[in-house]
Each structure stands twice: as C-alpha cells, then as structure tokens.
Amino acid sequence: MNILDTIIAHKKTEVATRKAAVSIKDLEARPGYIIPVRSLADSLLKENSTGIIAEFKRKSPSKGFIKQDANVSEITTAYTKHGAACLSVLTDEHFFGGSDEDLMQARKNDIPILRKDFIIDEYQIIEAKSIGADVILLIAACLTPKEVQSLATFAASLGLETILELHAEEELAHICDATKIVGINNRDLKTFNVDIERSLRMAERLPADKIKIAESGIDKIEDILLFKQNGFKGFLIGEYFMKQEDTPAL
C-alpha cells in the first residue's frame, strides 16, 4: 500500500467518525457557513496578481515536521500582507498535523482560502464551508471521474470553487465542466518524487479554458517564471515558505 492509499483508508474511517459526531444541520448552523465566498479564480486572473497560493502546513508524511510550533495566525497574516493571492491550509491532522481550527484562525484574512485535505465525501465539503473555506481540493488519484464531477458540482451548489489536482496523464479524463481550476502536482503522491518537466508536458494537454496551477516542489523564482511561460496562473508553495525563519516577500 502506497502513501496515498494509506491516507485514504484512514480518511474513510475519520469521515465516518466525524459524521457520527456532528450532524450536517449542526455544520450549517456554524457562523463560518454564511461567510461570503471569495473567488480564487478572480484572485488569480486579476491584473498584477502574484498567483501565489501560500500554504500553511506543519508536517508531511515524507518529511515529518517542517515547523512543529508554527503559529497559523501569524504566518497566514504575513502571507496575506506580502501579497498572496490565496491561502492554503492543511486540515488533515493524522498525517499533516493540521486541523479545522487552523483554517478558522486563518479566516481573519480577506483573501480566498483553500481547505487542503483529502475530500472523498460531500460531508467534508459542507465542513469546508462551515469553517470558512472558499475552495476545496479534489485529488484525481483517489477519486473516479464520476466522483469528481459529483463532488465538484456539489461544491459549486454551495458557492465553493474546486481545484482538481492531477499528477498523471491518465487522470486527464477527470476534468469536467465543474472543474474550472486544474492543479498539476509536480510531486507524485504515490512516490513523493518531484518532476517539473512531467508537469509541463501534462499542461499542454489541458483544455484552454481551464485555469492552471502548479503545485509542490517550487522553491525558486525561475520555477515560477517557467510555469508562467507555459500558461500557469497559480503557484502553490508550502514547504519552501514554511522552512524560512521569516515569511519571505512573495
């Protein structure tokens, strides 16, 4: 069993537990549920946007803790101040050390927020809205094309946007009308190896009307410039920023 399979197996158990503990009615009654949604698409496409999706994460399965005592409020506020187009907050606790509370603390910032998690159920999308997220992530590697279409359509019905994440060419079939924003993960989620050239090749096959985002393994300005030259509008960066003593200007 690879890393992704292990995460999804655990996530299925976790979601079942959360469903039993908190009803959908209770989620819909939370203050975050009625917060106006901020558009990631608009943020990425506006003139002079940095395109940076700055990520807050304490650890990863492959690297362990990056910054165990990180303060989510301080870091996400700094990201926003330095020009991030969007915040990405890891909410998976078991593998990434995150929580819903992290995203709720980040919500004081007036820019779009991506709930970065492993979404497999509509319940998690309602959760995302209830904690103030504007965008959800759907990972093609752990969903069928039919599931992607269903979950992305459901998210849209709640006013949320979706990033569809791809990391292999055979996943191009997961793209549908409901997935306006497509992220290409430079890191293979099954091996955690990074290959930017493979991502660029995949990008050439994306429909022209999709907003392209490059994810993972970006640690220098040359990478961003290369992706921009290939039509990318967004650049998700987490580990590089989290390793810095001070939050860098974007």
Q: Which domains does the chain have, with CATH numbers?
A: 3-242 (3.20.20.70)
Range in 88-97, 160-169, 187-196 with the lowest mean pLDDT: 187-196
Which member of 171, 212, 216, 233 is catalytic?
A: 216
What pLDDT, on the 0 to 100 scale, is given for residue 250? 53
Q: 3-state class of 112 per DSSP?
A: coil
Residue owning tokens 């220098």: 220
* Confidence label for 198 from pLDDT (cuts 50, 70 and 90): confident
Considering the candidates 14, 161, 165, 239, report the single residue annotated as catalytic: 165
pLDDT per residue as tens digits for the range 145-162? 999 999 999 999 999 999
Whether 57 is catalytic is yes
Kindly tell me if the per-residue pLDDT of 3 is higher than 70. yes
Handedness of CA 121, 113, 88, 186 (dihedral sign): positive
pLDDT at residue number 60: 82
CB-based burial, 19-45: b 16+ in 10 Å, e otherwise: eeeeeeeebeebebbeeebbebeebbe
Does position 67 have pLDDT exceeding 60, yes or no? yes
Catalytic residue among 57, 59, 129, 180: 57
Of 17, 30, 8, nearest to 128 by C-alpha is 30
> 14, 127, 215, 239: which one is catalytic?
215
- pLDDT in the model for residue 234: 97
Q: Give the residue, 56 or 191, on which the prediction is more confident.
A: 56
Q: Which of 66-70, 135-139, 219-223, 242-246 has the highest mean pLDDT?
A: 135-139
Q: Where are the beta strands (DSSP E) in the chain?
A: 52-56, 59-60, 64-65, 86-90, 113-116, 135-139, 161-166, 181-185, 211-215, 232-237
Can you give the pLDDT at residue 243?
76
What per-residue confidence (pLDDT) applies to 195?
Answer: 80
Residue 152's H or E segment, with its range, is helix 145-157
Q: What is the pLDDT of residue 248?
A: 53
Instruction: Say if residue 216's pLDDT is above 90.
Output: no
Q: Residue 55 has what pLDDT?
A: 95
Tell me which amino acid residue 99 is: S
Q: Which of the residues 185, 186, 199, 239 is marked catalytic?
A: 185
Confidence of residue 47 (pLDDT cuts 50, 70, 90): very high
- Tally of CB atoms within 10 A around 110: 7
Phi, psi for residue 54 in degrees, rounded to 5: -90, 125
Q: Give the pLDDT confidence score for residue 246 in this predicted structure.
A: 65
Flag the least confident range among 48-52, 55-59, 217-221. 217-221
pLDDT at residue 98 is higher than 60: yes
Catalytic status, residue 239: no
> Residue 247: its pLDDT value, please?
57
The pTM (predicted TM-score) of the whole model is 0.93
To the nearest whole number, what is the mean pLDDT of the chain? 92
Residue 185 annotated in active site:
yes
User: Could you say which of 55, 127, 171, 239 is catalytic?
Assistant: 55
